Structure 1
Amino acid sequence: MPLHNFTTVAAPPDEADWRLRARCRSEGMDVFFSPSGENKPRRAERERAAKDICAACPVIDWCRDHALTVQEPYGVWGGMSEADRRKSTEIGRDMRVRSLHFLQFHRQN
């Protein structure tokens, strides 16, 4: 059984469908994933190229949501690099902590 059939059966239709419409399907994966030993300037150049492809992708939001939800550790997903996703997660965590502190403070007063 081909993997795409398994994905279609296992995932909700809209979730499975976004992968089939992703612009990266027609690109080499070497643009989206770092080869071993890649230096910083080359990495920045490769990530910029990947993000340019993502920017024109019709399913960028679904891809980004997927990467953040499952905490994809590698590659550019939904226009976000590994570092972008880590930063986004840290910002979200900081906001949740601040909101909790704010609520606790106002409940006491």
Structure 2
Amino acid sequence: MAVRASMACGAILLASSALAQTATHAGAHNPAVKNNDAAHVAAPAKGANSFSEDQARGRLTKAGYQSVSRLTKDKDGVWRGSATKAGKKVNVGLDYKGNVTAR
């Protein structure tokens, strides 16, 4: 009887610790993964960029840029090119986080 009670207590403790771990990680996130909305930032973040050229063009277009051209990935992993917005030609960039820069 004591063995069964000990085993039952052990099972309850294991189950409660597993639930506690799940709850702790529920709010964790990867800052490199952004939602689908492009944010405008002052400077692009350096890092390995996994966006394809077509995806980068799509992000820039969604951010309101038109005629996106000459896209190339630089040594910092930032997609850079030129585009127009509100009739003005600008240089644009897209970092690995999906953030857009323009100058």
- TM-score between both structures, scaled by the size of structure 1: 0.23
Greater strand share, structure number: 2
Larger gyration radius, structure 1 or structure 2: 2
Greater helix share, structure number: 1
- TM-score between both structures, scaled by the size of structure 2: 0.24
Q: Which has the higher contact order (CA 8 A, sep 6+)?
A: 2
